[in-house]
Every structure is written in C-alpha cells, then in structure tokens.
C-alpha cells in the first residue's frame, strides 16, 4: 500500500495509490483522518478498510490537479533515516568506507519540524 500526502485546491489530504497509480484521497473513500500522523496511529484499525474500499468503490477524482507533499509533512518525532541505500550514495562514500558488500547499514536521525516536498512536482 503506497501512501501519500497530497495538496489539491490549497488543502492537504492523506491519499493511497489507486488502481490506476494515481493517489486517491481517503476522504473520497469515506475514511476521515486529520493527517498522516493519525493514519499511522490508527493504521491497524484502518488499513483493511482502505483495501476493501479501494476494491469496491470508484472514487470520483479523475482530472483533479494535485501536488505530492512530503509523506509526513509535520512529523511528531525525529525521523530515523537509512543512509547509503542506493548506488550514488555508495559511490559518494567509497573513499570513507566500502559499502559495496552491503554488510554495514547506516542509520541516522534528523530533527524535523516540517519536511520538504519531494521535488515539488505538480500533477494533473
């Protein structure tokens, strides 16, 4: 299940990837959550409901313009990150430590009060 926070018409929505690959807001499925933090807290309760509604309902959101926001725009705690997790990171760090064997994992935390949007892409 791929989850998103999107912005449409100057309002933020929690969304899930629909059958066609486009985000479908939980609101349109009749599932009301304030933000991604609430969805995370209630995920065990809500996840099967989301799957069932995606299978049985056809949300009416075609043609809606949206912008993908950071998944959790305002985290409630520090974020734990996985570093050196793709080829360019491995190449950048080869002089410091050889991660090509992928035996070591690098974790680090970030203090975030508001997360940046991924590339600020605008979709139609």
Contact present, 113 and 67 (Cβ < 8 Å): no
pTM value surpassing 0.85:
no
Per-residue pLDDT, 118: 75
Per-residue pLDDT, 64: 75
- Give the pLDDT of the chain (124 residues) as one tens digit per residue: 899 999 998 999 999 998 888 899 999 999 999 999 999 999 999 999 999 999 886 666 666 788 899 888 888 878 777 766 666 766 776 676 666 666 667 777 777 777 777 765 555 4
Per-residue pLDDT, 71: 85
Per-residue pLDDT, 80: 77
Per-residue pLDDT, 77: 79
CA pair distance 63, 123, nearest whole angstrom: 10
CA pair distance 69, 90, nearest whole angstrom: 27
Diameter of the chain by CA atoms? 53
Per-residue pLDDT, 100: 63
In the DSSP assignment, the letter for residue 32 is -
Contact present, 77 and 13 (Cβ < 8 Å): no
Per-residue pLDDT, 58: 66
Per-residue pLDDT, 124: 43
Domain range annotation of the chain: 3-72+119-123, 79-110
CA pair distance 10, 72, nearest whole angstrom: 17
């Amino acid at each position: 299940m791929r989850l998103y926070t999107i912005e449409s018409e100057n309002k933020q929505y929690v969304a899930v990837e629909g059958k066609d690959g486009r985000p479908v807001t939980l609101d349109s499925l009749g599932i009301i959550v304030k933000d991604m933090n609430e969805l995370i807290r209630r995920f065990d309760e809500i996840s099967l409901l989301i799957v069932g509604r995606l299978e049985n309902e056809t949300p009416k959101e075609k043609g809606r313009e949206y912008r993908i926001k950071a998944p959790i725009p305002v985290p409630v705690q520090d974020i734990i990150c996985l570093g050196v997790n793709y080829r360019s990171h491995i190449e950048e760090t080869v002089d410091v430590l050889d991660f090509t064997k992928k035996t070591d994992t690098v974790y680090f935390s970030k203090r975030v009060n508001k997360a940046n949007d991924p590339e600020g892409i605008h979709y139609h």
